[in-house]
Amino acid sequence: MTATVGVPRETFPGERRVALTPKACEALAKAKLAVLLEHGAGIEAGFPDAEYERRGVRLATRAELFANCEIIVQARTPGSNPVQGISDIPLLRPGQILIGYGDPLTAHAENSAIAATGAIFFATELVPRTTRAQAMDALSSMASIAGYESVLMAASALPKLFPMMMTAAGTITPAKVLILGAGVAGLQAIATARRLGAVVSAYDLRSEVKEQIESLGAKFVVLDLDTGGGGGGGGYAKAMDEAFYKRQRELLTEVIREQDVVITTAAVPGRKAPILVTAAMAEAMAPGSVIVDIAAERGGNCELTHAGQTVLHNGITIIGPTNLPSRAPVHSSQMYATNLVNFLKLITKDGEVNLNMDDDIIRETMVTKGGQIVHPKLAPAVPLPTAPLHEAPREAPAK
């Protein structure tokens, strides 16, 4: 029997993405999978219902979708949509597959509640960063968009131009931009700032990213610190102790003082973002300077950051953006949908669900199965009672 994939409308405030685009639904049809879409699910991303219907997608209510689909795909599952997403949990049933962002390392109550329904939950954040899994790596896809958007926000807020210009009124010197963290978001921020004409430098704990930074035309900032290589596995920098971060802040102060823009991207999965820029460091910058903190949803890399707000402090603008991929919902939905299609092809065969537990991607991405939390990083594989869910909103994960 052909499995049906359900696409609910996203309910997280300000979320404009859709899990599957019309083109992605065509690809699933070729893989012998049917698609059921909640009315209006793609409108915020620029994909009206008619575009889906042209590809053979059927429309349904939310309740019908959960009741009739073997697989549910979302941008934000209850763990990353902790207030509105609660209402979806009673709609899940044993053996039903749920796929999407779910903040699995911190959303313990939601993990337990999903497990109690008997549903199988795959968290897209947990897709391993390996060559074989690259086409399914939604976290990297969204980080790339976040890096791009962060530079546009900085350029818009900066009371200067980014590129050098030779004019009849004289020469305009280029803006100086510092990127802290050279992961996927940081590298995209470097490339975007360079394309806009800025003089770019970047700092990262991991010495191995020096070549990548310089290949994009930026200067690699070297600090006199013992990082032990700085790599924490999976493409992330490792968490360091507070003494290390204190010394790092002291050395970075002199670098930051000379910058027009600082973009911070440092995050460690499942943990609060480290403070890289203190209030004193920000105050050392010239009035009119801008800090864009991509890690705002994880507490921020700047001491002055407030998630979802723009703060003016001593003439310095500190921007704490949240859900940056939703600023470009067309392309973020296209990229995310492609990641999901590749994952769906992995867990199905000839139109039917086929979970090969010997596959490392399936095993490392699965959070719940058979009434248990089965991921080794989250909890032992034992039955869990239904856990009480948060009544009050909490910080959403950086996605």
**Bridge partners of residue 99, in order along the sequence:** 73, 122
CA torsion 194→195→198→199, rounded to 10°?
Answer: 30
Residue among 55, 58, 129, 194 flagged as catalytic:
129
Catalytic residue, candidates 87, 93, 132, 134: 134
End-to-end CA distance of the chain: 34
Catalytic position from the list 88, 103, 137, 260: 137
**Contact yes or no for 54/81 (Cβ under 8 A):** no
Residue 204 annotated among the catalytic residues of the structure: no
Instruction: Tell me how far apart the alpha carbons of residues 62 and 279 are, in angstroms, rounded to a whole number.
Output: 46
Query: How many angstroms separate the CA atoms of 81 and 13, rounded?
Result: 9
Active site residue 236: yes
Identify whether 140 is a catalytic site residue. Answer: yes
Please check whether residue 303 is in contact with residue 291, taking contact to mean a CB–CB distance below 8 angstroms: no
Given the residues 52, 101, 203, 236, the one annotated as active site: 236
Tokens 């310095």 found at = 316
| Paired tokens of 227 | 């990082």
The CA-atom distances, in angstroms, between 5 and each of 10, 29, 77, 101, 229 are 15, 10, 15, 16, 43
| Residue 249 appears among annotated catalytic residues | no
For the record, the structure tokens of 162 come out as: 């980014």
User: Which member of 74, 80, 112, 140 is catalytic?
Assistant: 140
Active-site residue set: 129, 134, 137, 140, 236
